[in-house]
Amino acid sequence: MANRSYDAQYEPRPGEDAGQEELRYQRFLRALRAAGLGNAERAEACAVAVLCTLEQRLTGPEARDLNFELPWALRDLLRRCELHPRARPEKIGRAEYLARVAEQLEVDEVQAEAIARTVLATARSFVSEKEAADVASQLPPDLETLWAPPA
């Protein structure tokens, strides 16, 4: 397990098997690491930056639905995104999205796009097709291309 600087509480929700959920989370991190995002701590930081920024573009209920389908340890880390709840999603497009990710991770926007594509593709592979379509329906076309599966 990675050293987590986010002080997350790792408690499964009712009906979840902690062992299975931890394995799902480890598979998620391994996929990010295999794609070149560095060690587990860096991969986790990339996932949080990319997914928190995505959640700012989604409605509250849709962000919760997305989180519900992700590994519970990751959901717990993403709770920090909820520090500033909003009634409406922020109307950001691709350029603003990538600028925010770049700033959080202290990388340039070209690197931010590669990281975002990797994290979003990995996250998308962990959710149902219905949930992936629901997320896509809330994104503008220029941002939806980052969420869409590779052609």
pTM assigned to the model: 0.84
Length of the chain: 151
- Residue 97 falls within a domain, yes or no? yes
- Residue 5 falls within a domain, yes or no? no
Q: 53 is in which domain, residue-wise? A: 18-143
Q: Is residue 138 within 8 Å of residue 62, measured between CB atoms?
A: yes
- Residue 8 falls within a domain, yes or no? no
Q: H helices of the chain, where? A: 18-34, 40-57, 60-69, 72-78, 94-105, 109-125, 129-137, 141-147
pLDDT tens for the chain, 151 residues long, are: 333 333 344 455 555 567 787 889 999 999 999 999 999 999 999 999 999 999 889 988 888 899 889 988 888 788 766 645 555 788 899 999 999 999 999 999 999 999 999 999 999 999 999 999 999 999 999 999 999 987 7
- Residue 47 falls within a domain, yes or no? yes
Measured CA angle at 41 (ends 14, 22), to 5 deg? 25
Q: Is residue 96 within 8 Å of residue 52, measured between CB atoms?
A: no
Per the structure block, which two tokens stand in for 24? 């799902």
- Residue 9 falls within a domain, yes or no? no
What pLDDT sits at residue 72?
82
Count of domains forming the chain: 1
